[in-house]
Amino acid sequence: MTNQKKPHGCIVSFQRLFSGCLALIATGFLLIILFFLATEVKIEGASLLVFAVSGFFVLRYLWKKVGRKSLSNKAVFKSVFFDFLRTVAVFVLFSIIMTILIKNAGYDIDDTDVPKEETTKTEIITTTEGNDVIKYIINKQYWKDFEGDWYRMDFKIAENSVKKSKTNREGYRYTRDFTWGKFYKHMADHDKPLLNHLYTSFSKIQKDKKMSRKKFAEFIITSIQNIQYNYIKSTPCTGTEDYPCVGNVRLGIFAPAEFGTNLKGDCDSRTVLLFVILAKFNFDVAILNSNQYKHSVLGINVPARGKYKTYNRKKYYFVETTAKGCPIGYLPKDVSTISYWDFVLVN
């Protein structure tokens, strides 16, 4: 027999409720971590399974055989205190493990580490090549691909190439047999040799990172998606546009070398530049336009999932170029009717 006073029933009920809530919170925290690792960091397969099983074993160990029959009020509150410490231990332990896994996966947890001012930083350099003095326009770009990997690359194009590109675009004759496909091809064929520094930079990063073909295509696509959208109009801007606007541009588009330097482009400015770059690296690409949607997208023939349109028995998956993070095969709902899209140029 003992003379120690038993705890009040309400206090015991509080202890059980509090401890149960803490256990649920700890379990929920682990599930959130697992979801984040699977969807954002792309840890999958055996690695994710090992982490999940280990995590639940740790939870079971921390909450196993926790005494619930206390002999005094003091013991009850002591038990509550240790339940709280166990929960804190779960948060700290799994936070440390998650941080280690993320770092090993090459994923940046905090976007504040990204020098965002460099995404729009432009400089002009002058170099001597043989007997020629050449001025280059360089835009320092910094962007993230679909898997969360960050890249830094200079978009470098000669100033004289930009002038040639503009002259070629503005000199195109608008005749009765005008089609957007013919016009795009006219600009693409002309500007293809003007983008050699871009090809070299993309190729170097591909080799350094040992990218697969699809990863390389995504790397190029996201470099353009990352650029701020602009309206490019053949008429003056009204000032009421919901995006930045450039007006009085003939035919309402910038040619590849122009867009590659001023980084101001709408849908078809982007699709034509991507068409040129991806075709240079032997990707099977196309440009699709929609009269109904007044929009232009890229099509690419690579293994993928999602929406596509067939041309010559080949699947060209849609690529939305005007917004960040739109994966291959994705079309926004407001432009998703396949029959409204037509091929205008296929390489």
Last residue of a domain, one of 104, 133, 168: 104
> Side chain identity at 223, as an amino acid letter?
S
The answer to whether 135 and 128 are in contact (CB under 8 A) is: no
**Lowest-confidence region among 53-62, 100-109, 198-207, 243-252:** 100-109
Q: What is the mean pLDDT of residues 190-199?
A: 95
- pLDDT for res 125: 84
3-state secondary structure of 179: coil
Report the distance separating Cα 190 and Cα 136, nearest Å.
19
pLDDT 10s digits, 204-236: 999 999 999 999 999 999 999 999 999 999 999
State whether 240 and 99 are in the same domain: no
What is the total count of domains within the chain?
A: 2
Domain assignment present for 112? no
For 129-163, the DSSP string reads ETTEEEEEEEEEEEEE-TTS-EEEEEEEEEHHHHH
Q: How many residues does the chain have?
A: 347
Beta strands in 200-313 (DSSP E): 231-232, 245-246, 285-290, 295-300, 308-311
Q: Is the pLDDT of residue 31 over 90?
A: no
Neighbours of 38 (CB within 10 A): 14
Q: Is the pLDDT of residue 114 over 90?
A: no
- pLDDT for res 131: 79
Q: What is the mean pLDDT of residues 312-337?
A: 93
Report the distance separating Cα 278 and Cα 249, nearest Å.
25
**Lowest-confidence region among 43-52, 102-111, 218-227, 279-288:** 102-111
pLDDT 10s digits, 55-101: 666 666 665 545 445 556 666 666 667 767 777 776 777 777 666 65
CATH number of 206's domain: 3.10.620
State whether 193 and 47 are in the same domain: no
- pLDDT for res 117: 45
Q: How confident is the model at residue 45 (pLDDT cuts 50, 70, 90)?
A: low
Q: What is the mean pLDDT of the chain?
A: 82
State whether 314 and 199 are in the same domain: yes
> What end-to-end distance do the CA atoms of the chain give, in Å?
92
Domain assignment present for 4? no
**Lowest-confidence region among 90-99, 171-180, 187-196, 298-307:** 90-99
Report the distance separating Cα 90 and Cα 98, nearest Å.
12
State whether 261 and 195 are in the same domain: yes
pTM above 0.85, yes or no: no
The answer to whether 267 and 231 are in contact (CB under 8 A) is: no
Give the range of the structural domain holding residue 31, as residue numbers without chain letter: 9-104
Q: How confident is the model at residue 264 (pLDDT cuts 50, 70, 90)?
A: very high
State whether 249 and 179 are in the same domain: yes
